[in-house]
Amino acid sequence: MKINGISRVGGTNPYQRNQETRTGEARAKERQKDEVRISTEAQELLESQSGTGAVSHRERLQQLKQQVSTGTYTVEAGRLADKLWPFLK
All structural domains of the chain with their residue ranges = 40-88
From CA 75, how far away is CA 68, in angstroms rounded? Answer: 11
Residue 18's Cβ-side half-sphere holds a number of Cα atoms within 13 Å equal to 3
pLDDT value of position 81: 92
Looking at residue 1, the DSSP 8-state letter turns out to be: -
Q: What is the pTM of this model?
A: 0.34
d(CA 75, CA 83): 13
DSSP SS3 for 73 = coil
pLDDT digit string (tens) for the chain, length 89 residues? 666 666 555 556 666 666 666 666 666 666 777 677 888 998 888 777 766 655 677 788 889 899 999 999 898 999 999 999 998 88
Q: How far is CA 49 from CA 42, 44, 57, 61, 70, in A?
A: 11, 9, 11, 17, 31
Q: Please tell me the total number of residues recorded for the chain in this structure.
A: 89
